[in-house]
Amino acid sequence: MKSHIKARRTLSVAAAAVAALSLGGCDKIESLWKGETGAQAQAPAKIEMAKSNPVEMAPKPVEPAPPAVDENKELAGKVKSALGADPALKMLAIDTGASNGVVTLYGTANTKKNRDRAEKVASGVPGVKSVKNELVIVAGS
């Protein structure tokens, strides 16, 4: 019979801890335990411990906002793709950069014709306001 009483006291302490967690910082629970002895006398200390470590009340992590789209990088990528789609230009080492709709072409071209063609292809991409052609003509490139 004593083990039954001990189990009941343990259950009471567990119920008090659950109540403390669910009620958060309610000070009224402490007044319920004043004057008690045995396992129930330990309940106020457990309630305080539960208050100082409120696992259930922890804020949920905020998901980060999706990364902002860099319009300059996006435009430079579109121009690079257009240059790569052109059969005469796809083998050339041409890099692109963009700033506020102004696209700059860097690298080498093997002829003046291909240099001019790269500028024309770049200027035909939607969103391109102007093209700065910095391509250098190098035979065999």
Q: What is the mean pLDDT of residues 35-58?
A: 59
Cα distances (Å, whole numbers) of residue 39 to 19, 30, 107: 16, 14, 81
Render pLDDT for 2-35 as a digit per residue (tens, 0 to 9).
555 554 555 555 555 555 556 554 555 555 555 5
CATH of the domain spanning 71-137, picked from 3.30.1340.30, 3.40.50.11540, 3.30.420.40, 3.30.470.10: 3.30.1340.30
* Strand-pair partners of 136: 108
SS3 of the chain: helix, strand, coil, percent, to 5: 50, 15, 35
Render pLDDT for 49-95 as a digit per residue (tens, 0 to 9).
666 665 555 566 777 877 777 899 999 999 999 999 999 998 999 99
Domain ranges in the chain? Answer: 2-57, 71-137
pLDDT at 139: 79
CA pseudo-torsion sign 66, 101, 84, 107: negative
Tell me if the pTM is above 0.75.
no
Which has the higher per-residue pLDDT, 106 or 1? 106
pLDDT at 23: 55
| Mean of all residue pLDDT scores within the chain | 76
pLDDT at 109: 93
Cα distances (Å, whole numbers) of residue 62 to 59, 65, 88: 9, 9, 49
Cβ-in-10-Å burial (0-12, 13-18, 19+) of 126 comes to exposed
